[in-house]
Amino acid sequence: MDAYKKLCLLAMINTGREFELPDDTADTVQNCVAEMNQMSSVLMNEGAQGGDLMAEMKAAQEEGQHSLRIYNQIGSIFKEGDRAKLEALIIGEKPLLDKDANFGLAKQLLKRLRQKNITDLSAVYLTLSLKEILAKANMDQAAKEIDAERAICEMVNEGQA
């Protein structure tokens, strides 16, 4: 599951789109991911044998589901293009992302979202002023035109715009 979480972040950074399993993915993997993604999965009953062990298993399962839900939320917000909301979620879930050793990737995802928003705008508009780009790309008001200009120059140099 750790590899899947890292793959989700890396795919978004690389492609600019939310990660989806390829069609030729093994059924076992698809079933495992689908099972973990179910928000309303039934947790084990604590009243069964081995109460302490069952409680520990239940807590581990809840933690795993919470963790995966966070990564799914990151993907959904990334798809929406809301940088402020994504940044708030990443900062709010820093302990989880640190535990998974994915906080650095999550920060890179913020940079990629800025590029994605600018690229999406260039597909719609031929010419925009830097102020319009700042407003339409959901970039922070604190971001200066120079930062936007630098981001656009980086994208042009990398062949993304």
Distance separating alpha carbons of residues 142 and 133, to the nearest angstrom: 14
Q: State the pLDDT confidence band at 90, using cuts at 50, 70 and 90.
A: very high
Query: Which pLDDT tens digit goes with each residue over 54-84?
Result: 555 455 555 666 778 888 889 889 988 888 9
Distance separating alpha carbons of residues 86 and 9, to the nearest angstrom: 13
Q: Which amino acid is at 121?
A: L
Which residues 6+ apart lie within 8 Å of 159 measured at CB? none
Residue 144, phi-psi category: left (phi > 0), alpha (psi -120 to 50), beta (remainder): beta
Percent of the chain clearing pLDDT 70 (strictly above): 64
* Residue 126 pLDDT greater than 80, yes or no: no
- Quick count: other Cβ atoms within 10 Å of Cβ 130? 15
Are the C-beta atoms of 37 and 65 separated by less than 8 Å?
A: no
Q: Quick one: which of 109, 161, 105, 108 has its CA closest to 133? A: 161
Q: What is the mean pLDDT of residues 6-21?
A: 85
Query: Which pLDDT tens digit goes with each residue over 99-117?
Result: 999 999 999 999 899 888 8
